[in-house]
Structure 1
Amino acid sequence: MRRALILLFFVVGSLNSQDFYYNFSEGKSYSIAIRSDYRRYKNKKYAGLTSKEYKVIFHANNLENSYKIDGRIYKMEKTLRNQVLSGYLVDEDCSVSYFMNRSGEVKSVKETEYPFLRGAPNFPEKTLSIGDSYFGYGEAVLDIERKYVLPIATQTVYLGKKMLFGSERDYFEIRYSYTRNHGVKEITKTLAMHNVKLYYDNEAKLPSYIEDHFKEEIHHSGDVYRMEGFTLYFYNITDAMNKEEVVRDLSDDLDFGEDDGVVVEKGEEGVVLRLEDLKFKPNTTDLLDIEYDKLDKIYNSLAKIKDKTFLVEGHTAFAGTERERYELSLERAKTIAYYLISKGLDSKRVLYRGRGADEPIAPNDTEENMRKNRRVEITILDG
């Protein structure tokens, strides 16, 4: 009887024990939508509400016991029309590149602010049972006047299963704070506590959602900064894009002629639809009526593409001032983005921005070349 009870205890314990780790696949594309809202105080005076939104799209190459992560991060601003989301304005973007092992340790980060959290969440190289806790170390990006990367200490506890958006996930709670030995002479004191909720997808072997609530007090160069708020991370996994196949299928579906001014081609960030010499009403960002048939055709093709993000970019020829060129390119990109959304494209998957005359595809030396540079490009991003 005693032996049977011991065996039963061992079996039940084994059923409640699991291994956790990061598992990236080379045939997949990964994206993380990040939203951060927090109140800022400087020397006990309210300094405003800060809201930040980011979209990270990346791929992973499998190495021995680790992954090489390469991708791009877009810093965005939510756009509302009549209190309804109408896409995201891209403020800036840059490439990201780093190494991560299966436990979550991050190394060799390119000189960018991402990942904001490095080495957290992390997983131990052992089986976990409900109630198990463990400690770890990592780094976090702190934005005070300038950006610093500070060391952090973490404590994580595994709490079993919990529902998230209608699906069962493994649930962890993490606490972390900055360590004292950060080596930044401008920062003389840090008082911080982050309470993190992590939902882990045991099928994908990756986080699916992270919620970080925090309070920080930072003494920096004689000033005292206090921040209170939260950061949310939404993970998504899709099949990696076959650019050649998408170019072929999209070209066949659109079936534009040479005189229509629409080119479909591979780009660095995805597949690009280049709309050359779109016709607008004089001195406005309003399209001529004849252009809407072209956009309707493009919308019908884009609507068939699931789980990808669309980046709409406006370009101008080299005419007018730099500010005028930027504003014109931005407004024309916005016109196209808004129209595609009004037709039914998911506004959460539409980004837009103006490029001015910074990226010409031809010299601005003839009217024909300037016509080519006056264009809107829609990039189907791989994530």
Structure 2
Amino acid sequence: MEPMKKLIKTIPPLLVLLLAVTARAPAAAQDGTTLISYKGNGSYMLVEKSDLRRYDNDKYTGLQSREVQSFIRQTEGSSAEAGSLFYDGSFFVVQETKRNTRAVRQGISTSIPSSFKITADGNLVMLEDNGYPSFRSFPAYPRQRIAIGDSWQCHGERAVDPLGNGQISRMPMLVEYTYLRDDSYNGSPVYVLKAQWATRYGVSYIDPEGDPELKSAQGKHDATILVSKESGNAIVVRDIVDEYFVYEDGRKVALKGTISLFTKYPPAYDRGKLVHALQRAAIVSPEKAQELAKADGAGSSGKNGSRQPAASSSSSAGGSKAAAQAALSGKGLAIAVDNTADGIRLTMQNLQFKPDSAELLPAEQARLDALVGVLKEAPESRFLVEGHTASTGNPDGELRLSVERARAVAEALVRRGIPAEQFICTGCGGTRPLADNSTPEGMARNRRVEITILE
């Protein structure tokens, strides 16, 4: 069959596809064609690992390696944008090498926030862009059925920071894809795709919000993509890179090597043990424990990485054996327990800090002690710690304080024996209130830290 070469408008899938989408790939037709399709749903983890040899003015200066992990979850969007899917991402660097010096960033991870939406017509729009994810609308599939040997073209975007100085520049990509063959990966059938595109920057396009010192860039990319036949997910993307960047002062930086993208899902944990620990600490009542047990697996990822949204239900409770009765009445240590699509969420309500600081007051020790026994029942899991503040009219200060308070809670739990590497910390400031900030009671409800045991 003669390869088809068409410019096809498709739903940009990197942030839908690589970030734990649920996909559907219809079986091949009798004529040998197939349709790869997918839909955004649920939460996932994306890993981007780069191993690039760096040359400054044609002189080798070392290996530039980085591993960026992220947790991305679907969020509620605007009711005025029917059909759009909204996502929030927490990105964090876990390992970085520069000039032959390796820095493994262990301990509590403070996330780099990102948010975006996929519109009903398939356009990806960044809402909060701090350079991650670096590939946008990649890979992309055609809307019609295809056969081995067929090719198609789609537009994408890539965010780059060659100097690693935080100056992000966005570069358009015109990618040509080819359906190479069918194969298997780890015992599962996959489609094997090839993707090629050129780096072209500074001639017909310059990012107006990018690095003003970056004058031009050229190069080429040759990527291999494995797509699950069962789910339509891009399991692995391996991009061979050869490109160089020229700066206004005459510097030339060349990068050669590989960039790999792949998805992974938070490990499952024993929900029964976790519920028992919640009961043992009197964080939930017996009735709530039964409800959580019945919801086993509601937010967990299945074989295909698909996730069924869990109904969110909550219970506030106390934290010691003597607080069992308080647990039944929703009082006590005021730790709320929710079933969410991302996992069980524990919310420490009305946290007590010194004024305008992230220093916890001694009165919070009992609640922290109660949480430790629960978190230890998920030794392989990651914990997403989100800080929230009341809104007082200082959004920048509130955001900074919410991150600091999330870290303060994580650090307190680390001192009690939870490994630091399990924590991802982020802050939302006063942007996600639970109550009206016009009353002291409402502000107290909004002043909280949420810990989600990711699954």
Q: Does 1:167 align with 2:188?
A: yes
Partner residue of 1:121 out of 134, 139, 150: 139
Q: Give the corresponding residue for 2:175.
A: 153
Does the residue aligned with 1:239 lie in a helix, a strand or coil? Answer: coil
Q: Give the corresponding residue for 1:73.
A: 89
Residue 211 of structure 1 and its aligned partner are, at CA, apart by 2.5
Which one has a larger percent strand, Structure 1 or Structure 2? 1
Q: Give the corresponding residue for 1:88.
A: 109
The answer to whether the 8 Å contact 1:285/1:332 transfers is no
Residue 17 of structure 1 and its aligned partner are, at CA, apart by 3.1
Residue 19 of structure 1 and its aligned partner are, at CA, apart by 1.1
Partner residue of 2:259 out of 217, 224, 230: 230
TM-score by length of structure 2 reads 0.57
Q: Give the corresponding residue for 2:410.
A: 334
Residue 330 of structure 1 and its aligned partner are, at CA, apart by 5.1
Q: Give the corresponding residue for 2:57.
A: 43
Give the direction of change, closer, same or farther, for the CA distance of 1:93–1:208 in structure 2 (3 Å limit).
Answer: same
Gaps of 5+ in 1: 1-12
Q: Give the corresponding residue for 1:29.
A: 42
The answer to whether the 8 Å contact 2:124/2:137 transfers is no
Q: Give the corresponding residue for 1:58.
A: 74
Separation in structure 1 between the aligned mates of residue 158 and residue 83 of structure 2, nearest angstrom: 21
Post-superposition Cα deviations, 1:198-227, rounded to whole Å, max 9, x if no partner, equal 111111123223222322212343442322
Residue 29 of structure 1 and its aligned partner are, at CA, apart by 0.9
Give the direction of change, closer, same or farther, for the CA distance of 1:196–1:369 in structure 2 (3 Å limit).
Answer: same
Residue 97 of structure 1 and its aligned partner are, at CA, apart by 0.6
Does the residue aligned with 2:174 lie in a helix, a strand or coil? Answer: strand
Q: Give the corresponding residue for 1:311.
A: 384
Percent of aligned positions with the same letter in both sequences? Answer: 14
What letter is aligned with 1:123?
Y
Aligned runs of 1:230-309 on 2, under 5 Å?
230-234=259-263, 237-245=305-313, 247=314, 256=327, 257-264=330-337, 273-277=347-351, 290-291=366-367, 293-296=369-372, 298-299=374-375, 303=378
The answer to whether the 8 Å contact 2:198/2:220 transfers is yes
The answer to whether the 8 Å contact 2:47/2:69 transfers is yes
What letter is aligned with 1:227?
L
Gaps of 5+ in 2: 1-27, 97-103, 162-166, 266-304
What letter is aligned with 1:244?
S
Aligned-pair Cα RMSD in Å = 5.1
Separation in structure 2 between the aligned mates of residue 356 and residue 59 of structure 1, nearest angstrom: 17
The answer to whether the 8 Å contact 1:161/1:168 transfers is yes
Q: Give the corresponding residue for 2:449.
A: 376
Q: Does 1:207 align with 2:228?
A: no
Give the direction of change, closer, same or farther, for the CA distance of 1:109–1:316 in structure 2 (3 Å limit).
Answer: closer
Q: Does 1:97 align with 2:117?
A: yes
The answer to whether the 8 Å contact 1:285/1:331 transfers is no
The answer to whether the 8 Å contact 1:87/1:337 transfers is no
Residue 75 of structure 1 and its aligned partner are, at CA, apart by 1.9
Residue 84 of structure 1 and its aligned partner are, at CA, apart by 10
Give the direction of change, closer, same or farther, for the CA distance of 1:376–1:67 in structure 2 (3 Å limit).
Answer: closer
> Between Structure 1 and Structure 2, how many residues are aligned?
340
The answer to whether the 8 Å contact 2:226/2:237 transfers is yes
Give the direction of change, closer, same or farther, for the CA distance of 1:198–1:251 in structure 2 (3 Å limit).
Answer: farther
Post-superposition Cα deviations, 1:309-358, rounded to whole Å, max 9, x if no partner, equal 6421356899xxx7996785254232256479838x9x66x422467899
Tell me which moved more, 371-380 or 198-207.
371-380
Separation in structure 2 between the aligned mates of residue 93 and residue 160 of structure 1, nearest angstrom: 37
Separation in structure 2 between the aligned mates of residue 233 and residue 38 of structure 1, nearest angstrom: 15
Give the direction of change, closer, same or farther, for the CA distance of 1:121–1:275 in structure 2 (3 Å limit).
Answer: same
Give the direction of change, closer, same or farther, for the CA distance of 1:336–1:284 in structure 2 (3 Å limit).
Answer: closer
Does the residue aligned with 2:37 lie in a helix, a strand or coil? Answer: coil
